[in-house]
Each structure stands twice: as C-alpha cells, then as structure tokens.
Structure 1
Amino acid sequence: MHFPLLYFIGLISCLNGVISQHEPDIFHSCTVMRIVSNGGFHRNVTTIVKITAENISLNQVSCRVVLTQRLSAGVYVDQYEVARQKPFGGPEMYTSQEMDIEQPEYLSPPDTELVALGWQSHSGSLLQSVVTLPLHLRYHRPTTHDGYVNVTISAPAVSLACTTLVPGLECRPKREVSTAASQIPDVMCHSTFLKCHMTGPKLLQLALPVAQKDWSLFVSTTTILVSVTCTIVLAYTVMRATHTTNISLKTKHT
C-alpha cells in the first residue's frame, strides 16, 4: 500500500540530487599567473588573478580576493613592508604567527599567510586583481653541492572574503577558517577555495646562493691571515707614531 508513496519520495530525492549536482556555479573560471623578478635574497612575486562569474554581476557584490600562501621555512614576506604599501592602494596581509625576520632557515617554522586584495579592475562578469609581494629568502646552512639551494613556493589558494552573503557562494564553516583569516575585518562569508587553473608552473623554484663547506678551511685560513696582518700593521703604525711624537717632544725641550 505504501510502495507507490515510497517510490515517489525516492524519485523526488533522486531528481533533487541530480539537479543539485548540475546547479551552475556562479564562478565560471579562475586563472592564476605568477611572475618572479629580481635575484639573490630579495625577489618580487607578482600574482595575477582573473575570475569570470556567471549569473551575477561582480559590481553588485562586496567581496575581496584572498590568497592563502603556505611558505616554507626558507622564505618569508615582511608584513611590515607590505603594511607600508597599504596607504597607496597596496594589499593587506595577515599571518598565522609572529615572524622573526632575523632567524636563519634552520631555526624558522613554516608559515601561512593571507593576502587580501580586493577588486582592482572589473567589467560586469570579469574580474582581474594583481598584487606584487616582496619575497625575502633566509640564510641557509652551508652545503656540499654547487653552492645553491632551491626554495620551493607552492601555488596560492584563492578564495573570497565577502561582507554580505552572496547567492550561490558556499561559505566555509567558522571552524575551518584559519586564525589568519579571522583577522580580516567585516567578513560575513569566507568562501571555500575556488578551483583555479595555473598559467605556468604550479611550483616556483628559486635558486639561492649559499656557502660551501669545502671552502671552510680556505675561508678560515684567509680570515686569520688577514686579521694577523692588519694587527701587525696597526701595531707598527701606532708604535712609529708614538716614537715620532717622543722625538718631537725631546727636540722642543732641548
């Protein structure tokens, strides 16, 4: 007697599941491109984010693009240097922990940083946001290889921090929002990570020059010889100047 009713309920549930699976996302595409400039211990990493939305105009929502960047112990972004850019339209950066910029790589923990960008240019359903971050590499231990170590930087995760609820935008539960993300002011909805396509390599490999252990004896010997030579020259100069002064004083008295 209840079989037709159960069959009808099951059919409706199945149809709802199919419809929800094919419900269009408001974001049609997301692409990320990164460009590295400068060399040595101080690099600039420019990140370009392009988002295309469907069924909604980006002019009608109040959201900011947020990059979640996980950094290894060998590299850091100086948050105070980024803060000085904020009055001139620069980004806002939030870190998961206090940072010691003087520590070497082997004493530093990895870090997770959030960079809030905001709308920089948009036209209807197309958004483009660009940010350049100063990247600093920490000092590493001497190596026995060719005098270089590779520091790897993974691709950033892209999400949105919105001041209002956006229809069709899935919000992350508060328990999943990191400590750094909770520092962004006036955020009602922090979206789940968008599925973005990387234009270029997903991992950035930065070659950093370091000291070589094979040179330790040469460097130590050279340092000692230079120190001893400078000490002898300095002592000789002081003694000669003192001797000349004494002769001058004796000449005056006679």
Structure 2
Amino acid sequence: MARFYLLATVLCFIRRGSSKQADCFPSEWLKSVSVSVKISKAGFHRDLQYRVQWSSTDHDVQALLVQKLPSGVYMDAYQLETLRRDTGLEVLLDSEVDLEAPEYLSSGFTALVFLSGTHEAVVPVHGRYHRPSDSSKPVKVDIEPPRVLLRSDQCRTLGPGVRGVVVEAPCTVSNHSICSWMQILDLQGDAGVSLELPVGDSSLVLTVCAGTVLTAVLSCVYLLRKIWKHGSF
C-alpha cells in the first residue's frame, strides 16, 4: 500500500532550467517523437496497443507512458504480474483496483507503462458492467491519450527552449526510487481511443424475472413428479 501512496504523490510538475539537457533533447529532435494508441479485440476484454517513435539519437532514451483510465474499464494487477514474468511487460498501477465492482461503483485510476528497451507495448484492459439502460444501445467509453515521458541517464535537467516540463515519477516498475522525466508538449499523434460495451436492457426486467420464476417452478414440478414416481419412501 505504501508504494501506491508514493506513486500518487510524485506525479507532479516541476520546471527547471539548465543547458545540459538541451543537448540531449533538442527541440528539433522532439518534433520527431510521436505516439500511437490502438485498441484491438472485441467485447469486454480488449488490448491497448502503444507505439512510440522518435528519430535516431546517440544516447539511450527511456520512455514512460502515463495513461489515465476512466471508471468504465479496469486493468487486472494479477494478470499484469503474470505478463511481466512471461513477456517482460512493465505496468505499474497507482492504486488498488477492484476487479468485481461495476462502473457506477468504481473510480478512475492511472497506469504507468514503462517502455524499457522497446518502443511498443500491448496492455490488456477490461470493460466493467454498466448500469442497465432502457435502450439497447451500447455505452461508449473514451480513453484519453497517454502522456509521454522521456529520460536519459546522460541528461539530468531541462534546457532552455525545450518544449517540455519535468515530471517526478518512478524510475522503474519496481517503484523503489524517483527520477526526473521530461513530458513532451504538443506531441504528434496525440489522440485517444474509445470502445463500446453492451449494457443490460432495463425494459426487459419483468419479462426476464417472469421467465426465470416460471422456469424454476416448472423444473421443481418436474423433479417432484419424478421423485414421487420413482422414489422410495
């Protein structure tokens, strides 16, 4: 629990001035950075596909995606831990997520997606059950675009003229230490995604209840007849 409180408090913006990082992340190079987000699969179980691109550079660059998610969807921390062991996917959630709660009893949260050694990641996301509606139309859940943070061990501060701000965030998915990351402003390809989820039709409540009760009564009558006919008393 302590790591969740630490993560929730460090995602703040701090502006700093220096000339060192301008050599690592010049404004012209930052213009080459772009991010794309796609959503695949259907139904309640989807995949968020992230891809960050930038032009070549002579030093290592690490990327971190800060993705805010609404109450209509959730990520499974147990599934993420399994994927971390099996595929190397690194995702850190800023709070505990109730996997069973419906949308109207849930709150949004933030996921940190670390792109260590790669520019791509596929993160599973799941839809929550929504409150029944009197229409058969599916509900639309909008997911805003992620913030893209960059860091390099050769760069410590943000230089003048760089179109970005410094953000304090965990250095790695282990969340044991805090590092300074640069969030890029005016990012190319900065667009969110959306998904549609089916909802229950509240106009069918009486029909479904009546059918359920009738089926239960007929089943009980059938079983009682069989027991009376073939049972031993």
TM-score by length of 2: 0.77
Instruction: Kindly state the Cα deviation for residue 166 of structure 1 after the two structures are TM-superposed.
Output: 1.2
1:31 aligns with 2:34: yes
1:69 aligns to what SS in structure 2?
A: strand
Q: Give the Cα–Cα distance (whole angstroms) in 1 for the partners of residues 94 and 194 of structure 2.
A: 24
Q: CA deviation at 1:92?
A: 1.3
Give the TM-score, by structure 1 length: 0.71
In structure 1, the gaps of 5 or more residues are 1-19, 121-128, 247-254
Cα pair distance change 1:47/1:98, threshold 3 Å: same
Query: 8 Å contact 1:70–1:156 — kept in the other structure?
Result: yes
Q: CA RMSD in A?
A: 2.8
Q: Kindly name which structure, 1 or 2, has the bigger radius of gyration based on alpha carbons.
A: 1
Distance in 2, Cα, partners of 1:39 & 1:169: 42
1:102 to 92, 100, 103: 100
Structure 1 counterpart of 2:204, which letter? W
Bigger mean CA deviation after superposition, 75-84 or 85-94: 85-94
- Is the contact made by 1:106 and 1:141 (CA closer than 8 Å) also made in structure 2? yes
Determine if the alignment matches structure 1 residue 217 to structure 2 residue 184.
Answer: no
The yes-or-no answer on 1:134 pairing with 2:137 is no
The count of corresponding residues between Structure 1 and Structure 2 is: 205
Residues 12-70 of structure 1: per-residue CA shift (max 9 Å, x gap):
xxxxxxxx9xx9425332111222221111011211111225xx41xx33x42111111
1:114 equivalent in structure 2: 112
Instruction: Verify: 1:198 aligned to 2:196, yes or no.
Output: no
Q: Is the 8 A contact 1:30 1:194 kept in 2?
A: no
Residues 56-135 of structure 1: pairs in structure 2 closer than 5 A: 56-57=57-58, 60-61=59-60, 63-120=61-118, 129-135=119-125
Q: State whether residues 67 and 145 of structure 2, in contact with CA within 8 Å, keep that contact through their aligned partners in structure 1.
A: yes
Letter in 1 for 2:34: T
Q: Which residue of 2 aligns with 1:184?
A: 175
One-letter code aligned to 2:219: C
Q: CA deviation at 1:140?
A: 0.6
Q: Which residue does 2:8 correspond to in 1?
A: none
Give a deviation string over 1:160-204, Cα, whole Å, max 9, x none: 244x3516756966xx536898963455332224542117xx232
Structure 1 outlier segments of 4+, above 3 Å: 167-173, 176-188
The answer to whether the 8 A contact 1:36-1:46 is kept is: yes
> Which AA in structure 1 matches 2:181?
H
The secondary structure found in structure 2 opposite 1:188 is strand
By percentage of residues, which structure has more helix?
1
Flag the structure with more relative contact order, 1 or 2, with Cα contacts below 8 A and sequence separation at least 6: 2
For residues 167 and 180 of structure 1, the distance between their equivalents in structure 2, rounded to whole angstroms, comes to 13
State the identity as a percent. Answer: 27
* 1:146 matched to 2:136: yes
Taking a change above 3 Å as real, the CA distance of residues 240 and 180 of structure 1, as seen in their structure-2 partners, is farther
